[in-house]
Amino acid sequence: MVAFTHSSFLTRLTQTMLTNLRRWRPFAKLGKPTEQTNFSVPVLCYHSWQLGDNYTDDNHFAMEQDLRTLASMGYQILPTEQLIAVLSGKVCPSNIANRKLACITFDDGKRWDFYDGVRSNGSKIKSFRRILTESQNAVPTHLNGARSLAFVIASPDARNELSQAFSEPPDYWTHDWWKKSAKEGIVGVANHSWDHVHDALKTVRQAENKKGSFFNIETYPDAHAQIAEAQTIIDKIAGKKRISVLGYPYGHAPSYLREEFLPTYGPSIGLKGAMSTAGRAVTNDTNIWDIPRFVCGHHWKTPTEFSELIRSTEASS
Ligand SMILES: [Zn+2]
């Protein structure tokens, strides 16, 4: 009898301890998300070289309108580095849970991310930086960090050659703004590979010179050249304030990079996460080396499609 009582006491004690252990979830990665830690954050991607006359043709018009939509829906901007801090378990998800938050990113690092300009028809181009500065009251930033993030192509030679291939003036794809921008906190600066394995280049840093797809980066030497060497240049130019995330060119996240190279070498290169364009919201169980984004002009093309898309990400939370 005594033995039975003792053993049932031990069983109950063990069960209580196990239950408490299961309940002890400081961060979402340790268990299923709860109501207090559940989040769903859309990450948006724009291209400042997408220039034209209206919302559909021109990402500057589109982003300005989308920010008005986000303001009317009660959204705030979440700095990408904070999203990564949550996904890596450094910040508790309760800081972003049950809130209306969106992240904003730009690809390729052309000058209108930072500088105003003039369209071929003579109208003024508002830089992404200006649009994000003007929208600070309507769509405030939640937590500290840069309001947006520009993924830039590292190699100056590759950018030069691309500008020539597109018959552009030589100042369209320079890096003279990276350092100031990285410090300023409106448009952060991050790695978009060495040369984007862009098809307009004669030679790309891929062993067989395969162009036009980042899925061909599937060996250590190619990954080292495209990602680690790119990071070294970006660190040198943009300085310490650059943001520790890779934007996969074309949004392609090859399994070798996602599952082997980046989890193994990413932290020593200075990378804490990587972004694809998989077209879903970021949630508690998102792989930090394959953070999905929505691309303007691809995942949505009109203001109505934009608000529907944002609403659909709320429904999944
Ligand atoms: Zn790109």
Say how many Å lie between the CA of residue 313 and the centre of ligand 1.
24
First to last CA, the chain: 51
Q: How far is the CA of 97 from the centre of ligand 1 (A)?
A: 30
Instruction: Tell me, in angstroms, the distance from the centre of ligand 1 to residue 168's CA.
Output: 17
Distance 192 CA to ligand 1 centre (A): 7
From the CA of 195, how far away is ligand 1's center (Å)?
10
Residue 10 in this model has a pLDDT that exceeds 90: no
Instruction: Say which DSSP state 96 is in.
Output: T
Q: Is residue 27 part of a domain?
A: no
| CB 49 within 8 Å of CB 110 | yes
Q: Is 188 a domain residue?
A: yes
Q: What are phi and psi of 49, to 5 degrees?
A: -80, -5
Distance from residue 183's CA to the centre of ligand 1 (Å): 23
Q: Is residue 130 part of a domain?
A: yes
Region 70-77: what's the mean pLDDT? 98
- Ligand 1 centroid–CA 196 distance in Å is 7
Domain that holds residue 267: 38-315
B/e letters for 232-262, b = 16+ CB within 10 Å, e = fewer, are ebbeebbeebbbbbbbbbbbebbebbbeebb
Q: How many angstroms is it from 209 CA to the middle of ligand 1?
A: 18
The CA-atom distances, in angstroms, between 109 and each of 11, 173, 295 are 61, 7, 15
Ligand 1 centroid–CA 147 distance in Å is 20
Question: What is the DSSP code (8-state) at residue 300?
Answer: B
The answer to whether 191 and 248 have CB atoms below 8 angstroms apart is no
Locate 148 and state its tokens. 């947006």
Residue 23 belongs to a domain: no
Flag the least confident range among 39-48, 109-118, 307-316.
307-316
Confidence of residue 34 (pLDDT cuts 50, 70, 90): low
In the numeric block, which tokens belong to residue 22?
Answer: 């299961």
Assigned token pair, 230 = 């790119």
Residue 252, domain member (yes or no): yes
* 135 CA from centroid of ligand 1 (Å): 25
pLDDT category of residue 200 using cuts at 50, 70 and 90: very high
DSSP 139-191: SPBPSSS-SEEEEE---HHHHHHHHHHTT--TTTT--TTHHHHHHHSSEEEEE
Q: How confident is the model at residue 26 (pLDDT cuts 50, 70, 90)?
A: very low
In degrees rounded to 5, what are phi and psi of residue 105? -135, 160
Residue 63 lies in a domain: yes
Beta-carbon count within 10 A of 299 CB: 18
Residue 248 alpha carbon to ligand 1 centre in Å? 7
Looking at the predicted structure, is the pLDDT value of residue 18 above 50? no
pLDDT classification of 28: cutoffs 50, 70, 90: very low
Query: At residue 198, does pLDDT exceed 50?
Result: yes
Reading the block at residue 104, the tokens are: 């904003």
Task: Tell me what pLDDT residue 33 has.
Answer: 58
Asked whether the beta carbons of 79 and 144 are under 8 A apart, the reply is yes
Instruction: For residue 258, give the DSSP letter.
Output: I
Average pLDDT taken over every residue of the chain = 91
Tokens representing 276? 């694809």
For residues 215-222, average pLDDT: 98
C-alpha 46 to ligand 1 mean position (Å):
10
Pinpoint the alpha helices (H) of the chain: 2-23, 59-72, 80-87, 128-134, 156-165, 178-184, 220-223, 229-238, 255, 262-269, 303-315
Counting the structural domains of the chain, the total is 1
Q: What is the pTM of this model?
A: 0.89
Q: Determine the Cα–Cα distance for residues 248 and 287; give it in Å rounded to an integer.
A: 14
Q: What pLDDT is recorded for position 4?
A: 36
Higher-confidence residue: 45 or 5? 45
Question: What is the reported pLDDT for 245?
Answer: 98
Reported as a pLDDT band with limits 50, 70 and 90, residue 23 is: very low
Q: 11 CA to middle of ligand 1, Å?
A: 58
Ligand 1 centroid distance, CA of 59 (Å): 14
Name the one residue in this structure whose structure tokens are 């991310």. Answer: 113
DSSP 231-253: HHHHHHHH-TTS-SEEE-GGG--
pLDDT, position 31: 52
Centre of ligand 1 from the C-alpha of residue 109, in Å:
8
* Gap from CA of 239 to ligand 1 centroid (Å): 22
pLDDT number for residue 36 = 82
* CATH number for the domain harbouring residue 127: 3.20.20.370
* Nearest CA among 60, 42, 244, 56 for reference residue 135: 60
CA of 120 relative to ligand 1 center, distance in Å: 23
Residue 3 covered by a domain: no
DSSP 8-state secondary structure symbol assigned to residue 225: I
Residue with tokens 């074309």: 250
Q: Residue 173 Cα, ligand 1 centroid: separation in angstroms?
A: 13
pLDDT in tens, 156-187: 999 999 999 999 988 899 999 999 999 999 99
Q: How many CB atoms lie within 10 A of CB 17?
A: 10
How many residues comprise the chain?
A: 317
